[in-house]
């Protein structure tokens, strides 16, 4: 798809999510009409491209005439969503293809398209985990849209969060989100926690019950000159104690094929400093300096025989122990044993 088509698709996805949230789910005085959705879309995209609210040009129109002009303005976006994902909805008739949300492949496809526009890094599997842990899964799309605007416009969001150690006791958290990316092979948000003003990570699969009024938060967003400085992910990883989970920074010496070295440089690990010790026409010996042992092990498993850990010796022993446990596990007939929760300094 072209950049223009991607932008049109994003607008259509957001239109669908707003209609689902404000027309199909809401009741009574909180329920939007079709015209309200078009007005909201127009307000968002007028602000996004840096122009005065375009709907002011319609102030002399009758409400019916103005709504019809806005509907035509965004109809192609809605048609693109219907065509790409194979389902139908109608704002005016308040109808929605309920079977769409019973189709995990279509949900995954839509969410993947939307995340690809602003997520720092994610994988299909981590997205599936997040979708499967939202009830209903359709609510996640609206959350992602609110999250995107919160990151772009620098406003806080509020939700319930189930910590790893206390999954049955959710707490209410208010954060200023900065980035959505993989953390320890899970899709998560990095943001500033209002409780202690510390930058932490929050797993997307453990979030529920968004309590932020999106329209109010967007309209009350900080002016451009009052927003916080752009988030530097590499600096966060290097300097923030919460990011390190109190783990020691180590230098991992690895032998790797040149093709996989190129993959590594363009992967989500590209924020980790890479030092090339030696290189020939087929392979290289490199050093990764990081606290994130899980990320290094994950890379080694994924690259199989095209990368080999050389040192340090204590990490090499630990990695070999894991390999041996896996070998024994897959040669035995025993069933997996539930593992106790790890203690981690996660938000």
Write out 66-86 in H/E/C secondary structure.
HHHHHHHHHHHHHHHHHHHHC
| β-bridge partners, 257 | 283
CA atoms of 159 and 276, how far apart (whole Å): 44
What CATH topology corresponds to 244-331?
A: Alpha-Beta Plaits (3.30.70)
Best CA proximity match to 22, nearest among 215, 221, 210: 215
Can you read off the two tokens belonging to residue 122?
């994610």
Per-residue model confidence (pLDDT) at position 346: 45
Interval 138-194: pLDDT, tens: 899 999 999 999 999 999 999 999 887 666 788 999 999 999 988 767 899 999 999
**Domain boundary assignment for the chain:** 1-102, 112-231, 244-331
Per-residue model confidence (pLDDT) at position 246: 45
Can you read off the two tokens belonging to residue 124?
């299909």
In order along its 347 residues, the chain shows pLDDT tens digits of: 778 888 889 999 999 899 888 888 877 777 888 888 888 888 888 887 766 555 555 666 666 677 788 888 888 888 899 899 887 777 766 666 666 677 888 899 999 999 988 888 888 888 988 999 898 888 999 999 999 999 999 999 999 998 876 667 889 999 999 999 887 678 999 999 999 998 888 999 999 999 999 999 999 999 988 899 889 888 887 776 555 554 577 899 999 999 889 888 877 666 677 899 999 999 999 999 887 787 888 889 888 899 999 999 999 999 999 999 988 888 877 666 655 544 444 45
Per-residue model confidence (pLDDT) at position 306: 93
Best CA proximity match to 212, nearest among 162, 168, 151, 164: 151
Per-residue model confidence (pLDDT) at position 124: 85
DSSP assignment, residue 137?
T
**In angstroms, how far is the first alpha carbon of the chain from the final one?**
37
CA atoms of 308 and 117, how far apart (whole Å): 34
CB-based contacts of 161, cutoff 8 Å, min separation 6 = 170, 171, 172, 173, 202, 206, 207, 208, 347
CA atoms of 309 and 202, how far apart (whole Å): 30
CA atoms of 17 and 145, how far apart (whole Å): 8
Per-residue model confidence (pLDDT) at position 23: 83
């Amino acid at each position: 798809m072209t950049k223009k088509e991607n932008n049109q698709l994003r607008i259509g996805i957001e239109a669908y999510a707003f209609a689902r949230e404000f027309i199909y789910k809401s009741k009574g005085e909180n329920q939007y009409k079709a015209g309200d959705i078009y007005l909201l879309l127009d307000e968002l995209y007028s602000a996004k491209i840096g122009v005065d609210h375009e709907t002011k040009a319609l102030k002399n129109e009758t409400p019916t005439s103005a709504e019809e002009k806005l509907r035509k303005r965004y109809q192609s976006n809605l048609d693109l969503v219907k065509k790409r994902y194979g389902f139908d909805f109608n704002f005016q008739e308040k109808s929605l293809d309920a079977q769409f949300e019973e189709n995990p492949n279509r949900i995954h496809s839509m969410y993947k398209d939307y995340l690809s526009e602003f997520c720092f890094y994610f994988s299909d599997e981590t997205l599936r985990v997040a979708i499967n842990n939202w009830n209903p899964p359709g609510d996640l799309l609206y959350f992602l849209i609110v999250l995107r605007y919160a990151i772009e416009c620098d406003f806080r969001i509020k939700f319930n969060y189930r910590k790893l150690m206390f999954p049955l006791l959710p707490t209410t958290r208010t954060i200023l989100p900065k980035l959505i990316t993989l953390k320890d092979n899970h899709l998560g948000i990095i943001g500033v926690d209002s409780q202690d003003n510390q930058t932490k990570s929050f797993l997307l699969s453990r979030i529920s019950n968004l309590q932020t009024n999106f329209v109010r938060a967007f309209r009350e967003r900080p002016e451009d000159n009052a927003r916080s400085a752009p988030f530097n992910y590499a600096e966060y990883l290097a300097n923030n104690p919460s990011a390190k989970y109190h783990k020691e920074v180590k230098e991992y010496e690895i032998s790797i094929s040149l093709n996989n070295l190129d993959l590594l440089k363009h992967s989500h690990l590209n924020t980790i400093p890479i030092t090339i010790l030696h290189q020939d026409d087929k392979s290289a010996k490199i050093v990764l300096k990081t606290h994130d042992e899980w990320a290094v092990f994950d890379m080694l498993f994924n690259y199989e025989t095209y990368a080999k850990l050389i040192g340090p010796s204590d990490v090499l022993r630990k990695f070999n122990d894991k390999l041996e446990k896996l070998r024994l596990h897959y040669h035995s007939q025993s069933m997996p044993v539930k593992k106790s929760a790890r203690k981690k300094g996660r938000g």
